Amino acid sequence: MVSVSIIVICQEQHLQLVQLLPQLLSMQYDGEHEVIVVDKSHDKDTGEWLEEMEKLHPHLCHTFCPASSRCIDIHKLALTLGAKAAAYEWVAILPAETQLPGDEWLGRLQTCCNDQTDIVIATKGGTSLWNRLTFNLFRRRFSIFRPTPSIVLCRRRILLQGDIRIPKNRIFRLPL
């Protein structure tokens, strides 16, 4: 089992977090994992709720995008902040509205994590969506995670490096 940091990106999505976080915090996974919530809008109510949740769940933490950073791509900033807070080499990225496909989704995805893989994309849909995800991955640097029903598991260094050029043979695609 690989150790995984799960980054949840949200923006004024308190209700979605209330549904998603209990699922993440009670999921079946034998490896080490942590959950990092990155709030793009720095919502006060969400922050207070997350602080209470952190008291109950030691492997949960949260951060936010500062208001002074509004002139840059806020989603890329949220991913970078989540990656910097991550303790493990493998990072799972989830939008707050993610519908998890059961309790063992992370165990299924981590089986694809090996020396020959840098990114695992699990999505609902066919190969045309996968091809679009791959194209967007190279062109827009991870801005794909807002609109698509996908879960991405990747190496932490990929989120932190400036130019991501990953050969297609190092990207593994998996249906949810």
Question: pLDDT tens-digit profile of 57-104?
Answer: 999 999 998 877 667 788 888 889 999 999 999 999 988 888 888 888
Q: What is the pLDDT of residues 42-56, one digit of tens each?
A: 888 888 999 999 999
**What is the layout of strands, in order, in the sheet containing 171-175?**
60-64, 33-39, 4-10, 90-95, 150-155, 119-123, 171-175
For the chain, how are helix, strand and coil distributed in percent, rounded to 5? 40, 25, 35
